[in-house]
């Protein structure tokens, strides 16, 4: 059965990969992001391939704007089957005691509070219908801290805890919860972290073939299409020459 899939942060990286892969799966999409022009371009491209797409422009950090956007969905789009909480970012590599509090707040507000906001807006409907799937994009960074990762790692550890907690909360229903934890993925992630320093960002991926957004999206689609009695609770996906968040063999 084709599903209605809501993906946050759908304009690039893993979010864009999920949009393309769920579209290929025959699902219809609600794509959210902060930049309307990018969303409309992606919508046009996917609609040319036969996918139904609805776009919502808002920042997940703005709870009121998120609520207004979700509540504005036409009736035929309201029954969301899959929520992909993808919107997230990392900022800075300073030691914790030298970190920028504005960066901390942006990461916490996006990676944790934004995820909570979308969960609060969408999951009650899933519980009422006794069906649905929440896929939270966590990270290998949530398993153990690495140098320069302090607050970002903490936010992704929170994603694991929130995923586990939600899974407990909905265990009496048919709603499923997946924490999908990528390792090194070549996306716009490092460009954002280094404030547009593309040369520095490129060095993150030197000497290793990293994952792509499409690789992670493949896992998300697989989890969403597992038999109803199967809940893929947590998946760690690493590049072949990455062993952990801090161990990467470069050639």
**Facing residues of 28 across strands?**
4
Can you give the C-alpha Rg of the chain in angstroms?
17
Tokens of 54: 């609805």
Active site residue 152: yes
**Identified catalytic residue from 97, 152, 198, 205:** 152
Point out the residues that are catalytic: 152
């Amino acid at each position: 059965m084709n599903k209605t899939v809501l993906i946050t942060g759908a304009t690039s990286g893993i979010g864009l990969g999920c949009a393309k892969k769920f579209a290929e799966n025959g699902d219809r999409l609600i794509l959210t992001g902060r930049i309307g022009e990018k969303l409309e371009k992606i919508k046009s491209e996917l609609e040319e391939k036969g996918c139904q797409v609805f776009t919502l422009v808002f920042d997940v950090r703005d709870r009121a704007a998120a609520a207004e956007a979700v509540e504005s969905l036409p009736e035929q789009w309201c029954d969301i089957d899959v929520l992909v909480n993808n919107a997230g970012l990392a900022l800075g590599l300073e030691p914790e005691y030298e970190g920028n509090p504005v960066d901390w707040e942006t990461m916490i507000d996006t990676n944790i509070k934004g995820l909570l906001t979308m969960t609060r807006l969408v999951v009650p409907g899933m519980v009422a219908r006794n069906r649905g799937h929440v896929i939270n994009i966590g990270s290998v960074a949530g398993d153990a801290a690495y140098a320069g990762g302090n607050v970002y790692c903490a936010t992704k550890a929170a994603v694991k805890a929130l995923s586990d907690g939600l899974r407990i909360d909905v265990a009496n229903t048919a709603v499923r919860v997946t924490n999908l934890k990528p390792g090194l993925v070549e996306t716009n992630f490092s460009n954002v972290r280094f404030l547009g320093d593309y040369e520095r960002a490129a060095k993150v991926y030197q000497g290793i073939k990293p994952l792509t957004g499409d690789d992670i999206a493949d896992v998300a689609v697989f989890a969403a299409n597992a038999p109803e009695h199967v809940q893929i609770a947590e998946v760690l996906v690493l590049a072949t020459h990455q062993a952990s968040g801090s161990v990467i063999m470069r050639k």
